[in-house]
Amino acid sequence: MKQHRLKRLYGVLFIVFCSTLAFVLVFFAIRDNVNLFYSPSDLFENPPQGRNAIRAGGLVEIGSLKRSTDSLEIEFIITDLKKSIAVNYTGILPDLFKENAGVVATGYFDKSKMSLDAYQILAKHDENYVPKEVKKALEK
Amino acid sequence: MFQILKNFYHKLGSYPWFYKISGKVIPFVAVLSISLIVISSIWGLFFSPTDAVQGDVYRIIYFHVPAVSVSQVIYYSMSVAAAVFLIWRMKMAGVYIKSLAPIGAAFTFIGLLSGAIWGQPTWGTWWVWDARLTSTLVLFLFYLAIIGMQSTFASRKSADTAVSIITLVGVVNLPIVKKSVDWWNTLHQPASISISGESSISSEMLIPLLLSILGVYLFVFFTGLLFMRAEISTREQNKEWFKKLLSNN
């Protein structure tokens, strides 16, 4: 490669290096806030301080879902298979919300009861796509 | 072999050669890409099986995945062109970036929009500030910056240089878009298609998805050539070869 082009190649590498460094520093600075939610284990290890809303995420524990008969109130347990926290919520649930499926709940955390008073429930869906008929056949 | 590649590279830098060849290629790619998109859309919307968890709403995958996938590939190719422009001063690389940026922006927008429409019924929200969605929005903003910068310089050369630099700055965002779902907790799920391992999407759903991805890639190839020709004819309108070409037709 000719001398002047080599010099420009170094220039290009320098731009990419600087920009990478900038991104790395930014992500280093906000490393505690990049995650969308805390797992129940995170909440036990490091309970959030203050009265701000937090998000907790994990699986809806099998058999933990309790629906009220006369209102939209529900109670369930979020687990990461190590630790678990209780959640209560009143409102409409997304289509994919069910037991043993991923969920992210936003709300106010009560440290004394290790429970979350949620005002928003989001369903997480996994990366698996299976035809309805195949799944039915597998369950038989 | 190296000599052939070198020759091809030099030819690629020539406006008249590119103009001639692209004119011949465009009709084939256009027909092929549009028929692939039509076939895969009909297949995906009506004939591929219903998903066990999501039901029929998952069919938006046949638009969402090709759009976001091609928007990232376009950006990677633009940053290669940016390096080529900065090192070898190849004018065609500047034409490439200018022509492909609006296409990339359009597909990123389609990806974000289809994702929002998909997210509302399944997740329960249009938008959430998780790492995958936010980094894709950043990609969209880089595209807008590249488009916006084109017209802020008096000379074509300084515009192409500045745009190449901003393109290279943004390329760091792409691995973040790709790996965000693995590095952090996000609402968005990890990838379903795997090149090295086994895909977690059943093959009856995967085949029309791969067809739609191929169709969209070819569509970008087709529109890219079209936009590049338009850009070349703007830049070269007063040149001898172009006038000759016009008078011949």
- A139 occurs within a structural domain: no
Q: How high does pLDDT run on average in chain A? A: 88
- Which helix (H) or strand (E) segment holds residue A24: the answer is helix A3-29
**Domain co-membership, A86 together with A101:** yes
Taking the Cβ of residue A32 and every Cβ of chain B, the question of whether any pair is shorter than 8 Å is answered with no
* pLDDT tens readout for residues B5-29: 888 888 888 899 999 999 999 999 9
- B49 occurs within a structural domain: yes
* pLDDT tens readout for residues B74-84: 999 999 999 99
**Domain co-membership, A28 together with A45:** no
Q: Which stretches within B43-90 are classed as H helix? A: 61-88
Residues spanned by the domain of B109: 27-191+202-241
Taking the Cβ of residue A113 and every Cβ of chain B, the question of whether any pair is shorter than 8 Å is answered with no
Substitution target from B172, B194, B207 for chain A, most A beta carbons within 10 A: B172
| Alpha-carbon gap, residue B167 to B50, rounded angstroms | 40
**Domain co-membership, A108 together with A60:** yes
**Domain co-membership, A30 together with A44:** no
* pLDDT tens readout for residues A49-75: 878 899 999 999 988 888 888 888 999
Per the CB < 8 Å rule, is A36 touching B172?
Answer: no
The pLDDT, as a whole number, for residue A140 is 67
* pLDDT tens readout for residues B153-162: 989 999 999 9
Substitution target from A60, A125, A135 for chain B, most B beta carbons within 10 A: A125
**Domain co-membership, A63 together with A115:** yes
- B21 occurs within a structural domain: no
Substitution target from B53, B182, B203 for chain A, most A beta carbons within 10 A: B53
Q: Give SS3 for A112.
A: coil
* pLDDT tens readout for residues A81-127: 888 999 999 988 888 888 888 999 999 998 888 889 999 999 998 88
Per the CB < 8 Å rule, is B200 touching A127?
Answer: yes
Query: How many structural domains are present in chain A?
Result: 2
Q: Give SS3 for A38.
A: strand
Per the CB < 8 Å rule, is A36 touching B187?
Answer: yes
Contact B212, B40 (CB under 8 A): yes
Taking the Cβ of residue A123 and every Cβ of chain B, the question of whether any pair is shorter than 8 Å is answered with yes
- A129 occurs within a structural domain: no
- A51 occurs within a structural domain: yes
- A105 occurs within a structural domain: yes
Closest to B122 (Cβ–Cβ): which among A39, A123, A132? A123
**Domain co-membership, A26 together with A82:** no
**Residues forming beta bridges with residue A89, ordered by sequence position:** A74, A118
- A27 occurs within a structural domain: yes
- B118 occurs within a structural domain: yes
- B37 occurs within a structural domain: yes
**Domain co-membership, A104 together with A84:** yes
- B12 occurs within a structural domain: no
- B177 occurs within a structural domain: yes
Closest to A130 (Cβ–Cβ): which among B55, B176, B202? B202
CATH number at residue A82: 2.40.50.140
Nearest one of A87, A95, A104 to A39, comparing CA atoms: A104
Which residues touch B125 (CB under 8 Å, ≥6 apart)?
A94, A120, A122, B119
**Cβ-based contacts of B187 with chain A (< 8 Å):** 36, 104, 122, 124
**Domain co-membership, A18 together with A68:** no
Residues spanned by the domain of A1: 1-34
User: Is the Cα dihedral B83, B88, B92, B98 positive or negative?
Assistant: positive
B245 or B111: which leads in pLDDT:
B111
Q: What are phi and psi of A6, to 5 degrees?
A: -60, -40
**Domain co-membership, A7 together with A65:** no
| Alpha-carbon gap, residue B46 to B39, rounded angstroms | 11
The pLDDT, as a whole number, for residue A34 is 86
Query: How many structural domains are present in chain B?
Result: 1
Token code pair at residue B187: 């609402």
A115-123 and A102-110 as β-strands: parallel, antiparallel, unpaired?
Answer: antiparallel
Contact A105, A64 (CB under 8 A): no
The pLDDT of residue A136 is above 90 = no
* CA contacts within 13 A on the Cβ side of B218: 20
The pLDDT of residue B233 is above 80 = yes
**Domain co-membership, A71 together with A119:** yes
> Using only C-alpha atoms, what is the Rg of chain A?
23
Looking at CA atoms only, how far is residue B207 from chain A in angstroms? 13
The pLDDT, as a whole number, for residue B114 is 96
Q: What are phi and psi of B190, to 5 degrees?
A: -65, 175
Looking at CA atoms only, how far is residue B41 from chain A in angstroms? 18
**Domain co-membership, A57 together with A110:** yes
Q: How high does pLDDT run on average in chain B? A: 93
- A68 occurs within a structural domain: yes
Per the CB < 8 Å rule, is A123 touching B185?
Answer: no
- B196 occurs within a structural domain: no
* pLDDT tens readout for residues B32-45: 999 999 999 999 99
Nearest one of B132, B110, B118 to B189, comparing CA atoms: B132
Neighbours of B63 (CB within 10 A): 23
Closest to A12 (Cβ–Cβ): which among B49, B83, B122? B83
